């Protein structure tokens, strides 16, 4: 890590920028690696770069906890963990030169999410600057901690609207000892049924993905458990190299499905939901709980479908986001959101409008 500037100076400058912006009421656009500018509502405001505040602060593999600065490149962090036989179990998508801070703020989890948990499940503690430039620490570096409200997890997926992340402590997990990927030819309905049935039978499934009549299921765990499950599930064994490339392509949206000219919707729904009856190609992940939908169908229709399936729809990638990216909240929830925003960012300067127009 080559940095010309002492770390404390970087923090001081961030504090000054935030304080000044708060005093003048001018919006700031928090930027780590700039990999997720496409996500959420249009970023606006003067760029507040956090990438310089980087590096791992503390990592003892036997604690299963790593603490790093928000500007740490995600790839660098994952390499350090892999070196010790560990990983970020939520398998976060990078979508470019991602940083840890952006990863937590975006709150996006990858293929392993249904089985291992989401980003928020692994966040143990944060140090952040609130919208007045106050330097605050919540949570800690231990796995069980119920002292105070869980502000750390609240930061996951808040898109930087509640604070500028400085440091994050995450729970990490050992890399699986063995992996195998199985391929099946199944209709969407049969794939949904199979994924849910397998998940109820204690098979060590760590990822699933269905598209266009092909279901891939990844098994991870103890060697014996993976082999036993592979025999029980059947299907065709995919060779390891090819499988690794496939899962990376699912995670990074680099597989052909995602090269679409249509708006890409992300539907987070009950895993057993039937395939939505709507025009457009669909890709299923998370044992049925995540449905990608490339469609020019009407926004209201897509949101209604997600809602019927017990979930919500996000306009993940689109050239026109006029209809709103995130599902509208009930008035009662929106009122709470506004008050939470005000409590951490009273001047409304941190990534304003990135999640909802009035946050």
Partner 1 sequence: MPTSAAPAPDPALKAKLIGALSAFLPASALLHEREDVQPYECDALSAYRQLPMAVALPATEAEVQRILTTCDALRVPVVARGAGTGLSGGALPHYNGLVLSLARLTRILDIDPAARSARLQTGVRNQAISDAAAPFGLYYAPDPSSQIACSIGGNVAENAGGMHCLKYGLTVHNILKLRAYTIEGELLEIGGDGLDAAGYDLLALLTGSEGLLAVITEVTVRLLPRPTRAQCILAAFNDVVAAGAAVANIISAGIIPAALEMMDRMTTRAVEPFVKAGYPLDAAAILLCEADGNDAEIVEQIELMKRVIECSGATEVRVSASEAERLRFWAGRKAAFPAAGRISPDYYCMDGTIPKKALPEVLNAIAQLSEKYGLACMNVFHAGDGNLHPLILYDANRPGELAKTEQFGAEILRLSIAVGGTITGEHGVGVEKLDGMCMQFGPLELQTFLAIKAAFDEHALLNPGKAVPTLHRCAELGGMHVHGGAEKFPGLARF
Looking only at residues 18 through 77 of this chain, which bind partner 1 when binding is defined by CB under 8 A? 60-65
- Identity of the residue, 51 or 102, whose beta carbon is nearer to partner 1 in the bound complex: 102
Closest C-alpha among 213, 215, 89, 107 to residue 152: 107
Closest C-alpha among 72, 30, 80, 38 to residue 55: 72
The secondary structure of residue 69, as a DSSP letter, is: E
Q: Is 296 exposed, middle or buried (0-12, 13-18, 19+ CB in 10 A)?
A: exposed
Which one of the spans 3-11, 13-21, 25-33, 167-175 is the region binding partner 1 (CB under 8 A)?
167-175
Site for partner 1 in 90-129 (CB under 8 A): 107, 113-114, 117-118, 120-121
Compute the half-sphere exposure of residue 156: CA atoms within 13 Å on the CB side of its CA. Answer: 21
Query: With CB under 8 A, what is the number of residues at the site for partner 1?
Result: 88
Closest approach of partner 1 to the CB of residue 237, in Å:
18
**Is residue 109 within 8 Å of 92, Cβ to Cβ?**
yes
Residues 6+ apart with CB under 8 A from 100: 32, 68, 69, 70, 71, 72, 73, 74, 77, 168
Closest approach of partner 1 to the CB of residue 93, in Å:
14
Q: Is 275 exposed, middle or buried (0-12, 13-18, 19+ CB in 10 A)?
A: middle
The correct pick among 53, 90, 95, 138 for binding partner 1 (CB under 8 A) is 138
Give phi and psi for 10, each to the nearest 5: -60, -45
Closest approach of partner 1 to the CB of residue 153, in Å:
4
Site for partner 1 in 207-266 (CB under 8 A): 221-225, 227-228
The correct pick among 14, 158, 188, 207 for binding partner 1 (CB under 8 A) is 158
Q: Is 134 in the site for partner 1 (CB under 8 A)?
A: yes
The correct pick among 149, 239, 259, 261 for binding partner 1 (CB under 8 A) is 149
- Identity of the residue, 319 or 330, whose beta carbon is nearer to partner 1 in the bound complex: 330
Q: How far is CA 272 from CA 200, 308, 314, in A?
A: 12, 12, 19
- Identity of the residue, 268 or 299, whose beta carbon is nearer to partner 1 in the bound complex: 268
Closest approach of partner 1 to the CB of residue 165, in Å:
14
The correct pick among 49, 80, 175, 249 for binding partner 1 (CB under 8 A) is 175
Site for partner 1 in 298-357 (CB under 8 A): 309-312, 314, 326-330, 332-333, 335-337, 339-340, 342-344, 355-356
Closest approach of partner 1 to the CB of residue 166, in Å:
14
Closest approach of partner 1 to the CB of residue 156, in Å:
6
Closest approach of partner 1 to the CB of residue 236, in Å:
22
- Identity of the residue, 79 or 224, whose beta carbon is nearer to partner 1 in the bound complex: 224
- Identity of the residue, 51 or 230, whose beta carbon is nearer to partner 1 in the bound complex: 230
**Is residue 230 within 8 Å of 219, Cβ to Cβ?**
yes
**Is residue 66 within 8 Å of 121, Cβ to Cβ?**
no
Closest approach of partner 1 to the CB of residue 139, in Å:
8
- Identity of the residue, 121 or 255, whose beta carbon is nearer to partner 1 in the bound complex: 121
Residues 6+ apart with CB under 8 A from 299: 315, 323, 324
- Identity of the residue, 51 or 70, whose beta carbon is nearer to partner 1 in the bound complex: 70
Beginning with the edge strand found earlier in the chain, give each strand of the sheet holding 264-268 in spatial order. Answer: 236-238, 178-185, 214-221, 205-211, 281-285, 290-294, 264-268, 312-317
């Amino acid at each position: 890590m080559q940095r010309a500037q002492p770390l404390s100076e970087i923090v001081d400058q961030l504090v000054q920028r935030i304080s000044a912006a708060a005093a003048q009421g001018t919006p700031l656009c928090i930027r780590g690696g700039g990999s997720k500018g496409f996500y959420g509502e249009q970023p606006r405001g003067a760029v507040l770069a956090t990438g310089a505040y980087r590096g791992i602060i503390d990592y003892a593999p036997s604690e299963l906890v790593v603490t790093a600065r928000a500007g740490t490149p995600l790839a660098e962090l994952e390499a350090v963990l892999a070196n010790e036989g560990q990983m970020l179990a939520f398998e976060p998508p990078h979508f470019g030169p991602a940083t840890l801070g952006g990863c937590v703020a975006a709150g996006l989890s990858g293929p392993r999410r249904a089985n291992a948990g989401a980003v928020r499940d692994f966040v143990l503690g944060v140090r952040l600057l609130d919208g007045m430039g106050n330097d605050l620490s919540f949570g800690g570096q231990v796995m069980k901690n119920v002292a105070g409200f869980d502000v750390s997890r609240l930061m996951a997926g808040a898109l930087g609207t509640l604070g500028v992340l400085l440091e994050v402590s995450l729970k990490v997990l050992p890399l699986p000892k063995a992996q195998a990927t199985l391929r099946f030819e199944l209709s969407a309905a049969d794939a949904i049924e199979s994924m849910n049935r397998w998940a109820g039978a204690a098979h060590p499934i760590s990822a699933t993905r269905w598209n266009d009549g092909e279901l891939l299921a990844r098994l991870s765990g103890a060697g014996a458990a993976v082999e036993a499950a592979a025999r029980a599930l059947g299907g065709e064994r995919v060779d390891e190299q090819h499988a690794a490339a496939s899962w990376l392509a699912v995670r990074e949206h680099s597989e052909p499905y995602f090269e679409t000219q249509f708006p890409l919707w992300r539907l987070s729904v009950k895993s057993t939901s039937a395939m939505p009856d709507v025009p457009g190609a669909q890709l299923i992940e998370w044992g049925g709980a995540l449905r990608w939908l490339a469609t020019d169908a009407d926004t209201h229709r897509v949101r209604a479908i997600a809602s019927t399936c017990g979930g919500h729809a996000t306009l993940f990638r689109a050239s026109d986001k006029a209809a709103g990216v995130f599902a509208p909240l009930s008035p009662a929830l929106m009122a709470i959101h506004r008050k939470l925003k005000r409590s951490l960012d009273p001047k409304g300067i941190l990534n304003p409008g990135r999640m909802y127009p009035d946050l």
